[in-house]
Homo-oligomer: A and B are copies of this chain.
Amino acid sequence: MSVEHHEPVKVTFEPEGRAVSVLPGTALIEAAVRAGIVIETPCGGAGSCGKCRVEISRGAPPAGEADRRHLSSDEIARGVRLACQTRVTGEMFVSVPVAARLFEHRILTNGQGRDVPLHPTVSKRHLTLTPPGLEDQRADEDRLLAALEEKKVHPGLEVLREMPRILREKQFDVTVAVAEGRVVALEAGDTTARNYGMAFDIGTTTVVGFLIDLTTGRELAVAARTNPQIPLGDDVVSRIHRACEPGGLQELQHKIMGGLNEIIADCCRQAGVASEHLYEATVVGNTTMSHLFLGINPEFIAQAPYVAAVRRAVNVQGRDLGLQIHPHGIVHVLPNVAGFVGSDTVGVVLAAGMHEATGRALAIDIGTNGELVIGNRDRLLACSTAAGPAFEGARIRFGMRAADGAIDKVLIDFDIQCNVIGNVPPRGLCGTALIDLVAELLRVGCIESTGRLLPPDELPSSMPEAIKRRVREGEKGVEFLLIPREETQIGADIVLTQRDIRELQLAKGAIAAGAAILMKEFGVKAEDLDHILLAGAFGNFIRRSMAKRIGLLPQIPSEKILYIGNAAGAGARMALLSRKCKMEANQIGERTQYLELAGRADFQDEFTSAMMFPES
């Protein structure tokens, strides 16, 4: 998924009329997830089952090959498409039939979709006060609070300072924004219709922000940026080291705040909203990102025994951080679980409703670190495992992120079939394609279960010639030619190396071992799980059969493996929309038991065996 600075476009889902703004190139199923609608994709988005039909009444892109295979020409003419094969190219109106819906946000609570009740922390009240007179000399504050009829509300100093002038600006006709005992803002006239908030998902690599109308619950805009801290450190640990240098913490905080403020400005521009009408921002991120965002020393997260400074939710004012919402608006950072399981994971549990579910689910959010949570309403257990950046394309010879020019899908029939994002010549391969390619090479016998890429002379004779020809001795050992240089953008052969396979083994081994330990501690086997939930942008594009074939996911029926989209971000949005969800998030943070894998002998054993590929 590209997160470059394209102008976002609006996608409206019918019959709800829910609109989201997404970046061009976003998969339609991802856009739907953002709108709280999860489209069923039993084949894992491979375009092979034809179940994810939606009707695009405006802005339908040309039908693709899979569309033509599954849909009649009448349907295609009407705008019916397979959601899993469709990318957003411009403004769209999309009707999602009930049959195509898997669940909405809270999939597991009762097996049915359920809306988040709209009850934001900040509410606005329009008040017409009686002006003072000699017979009614109440102080401005008393007059205001009496009209508010809330006993325990205190205006902050800044509100008190402006109060006399604002009250008199429109003859004591005012609007008050109130949040949990505090007057956040006082405005002349009736401004109740202008009540907005931002939800942020701060990833180590990518930062996404959503602008939400708190009176309707609608998402008005979305914007994303590459995390501007990247130049100061690629991953969590290198950023912690940077934070320990003199001035480093301030610099990191300054960088992320700059990025978030750009996102705010961008969203406000899209939605035509003034930033002083943003009264709350909710934030999820991994524990280190939260610490850096708040300017809290993350030093001891990176050293044994890996202890966070802060685990609970933090509430501060916008101006305390330099976040350019209303200066006295609330910034609510959702709680963490532990040093390596952050509020993003809490957001996943919240959005998936695991904390209320009776069934047993395992949620996996794959990034540089894989965070895993197992459980249900009775017990939640989490761990973190260092998958490394292979799935994001790093340390893979021709690895890249899922941007234009990335091969994102590989199939082998008689020869290699590739899909390239953006219909351009390829530049490299992203994580999903890496999984596909290794899975397919395992199937055809090019790779042994140890991960060894067989040299040309050891290849099984049953293998198609076209595939055989691609295996060759490279400078650093055996390699597999995916795309010859003349078909690429980069003037070089795109190959898969033995080392790439080893990187993938480390990455998938870490995730699989973490899952195995969690299941063991929880006392279940893979077959006892009711669901595996794949969260995050990456998780949503993994093909389930391929992931099982390489042993990244356990061998359970694919229909039990569900895509839940950017569930961390959805959790941040839910906390913004609903005080109840905020409290649930606090309980999730409190309740979820953290399993430390470091130093566990059984983790080392699991990891060693999980690096192997399953025997077919």
Which residues does A use to contact B, with CB under 8 Å? Answer: 132-134, 136-142, 154, 157, 160-165, 168, 294-297, 299-300, 304-312, 314-316, 320, 336, 338-339, 594, 596, 598-599
Contacts and interface: CB of A to CB of B under 8 A. Distances in A.
A306 to B, nearest CB: 6
Contact of A336 (B139, B160, B294): B139
Given A137-B596, A140-B300, A300-B140, A160 B309 contact: yes
Given A137-B594, A297-B165, A299-B164, A311 B142 contact: yes
B139 A310 contact: yes
Given A133-B305, A137-B305, 8 more contacts: A138-B307, A139-B308, A140-B310, A141-B312, A157-B295, A161-B295, A163-B297, A164-B296
B161 A307 contact: no
B311 A141 contact: yes
Interface centre among A138, A162, A598 (most CB of B within 10 A): A138
A419 to B, nearest CB: 43
A316 B140 contact: no
B598 A134 contact: yes
Contacts of A296: 157, 160-161, 163-164
Contacts of A598: 134
Interface-centre pick from A136, A165, A310, A338 (highest chain B CB count, 10 A): A310
Contacts of A297: 161-165
Contacts of A308: 139-140
Given A140-B308, A312-B142, A336-B139, A320 B157 contact: yes
B295 A137 contact: no
Given A308-B139, A310-B140, A134 B599 contact: yes
Contacts of A311: 138-139, 141-142
B294 A160 contact: yes
B307 A140 contact: yes
Contact of A141 (B134, B154, B160, B310): B310
A91 B304 CA distance: 58
B336 A300 contact: no
A594 B599 CA distance: 71
A138 B309 CA distance: 9
Closest 10 A/B residue pairs (Cβ)? A139-B311, A139-B308, A132-B307, A164-B297, A134-B305, A164-B309, A140-B309, A141-B310, A157-B316, A132-B305
A148 to B, nearest CB: 13
11 contacts: A134-B304, A134-B596, A134-B599, A139-B308, A140-B300, A140-B307, A154-B315, A157-B294, A157-B314, A157-B316, A165-B297
Given A157-B320, A160-B296, A307 B139 contact: yes
Contacts of A141: 309-312
Contacts of A142: 311-312
A336 B140 CA distance: 12
A310 B160 contact: yes
Contacts of A312: 139, 141-142
A338 to B, nearest CB: 6
Contact of A307 (B137, B316, B339): B137
Contacts of A154: 315
A308 to B, nearest CB: 4
A363 to B, nearest CB: 21
A133 B305 CA distance: 5
Nearest to A249: B161
Nearest to A338: B137
Contacts of A160: 294, 296, 309-310, 314
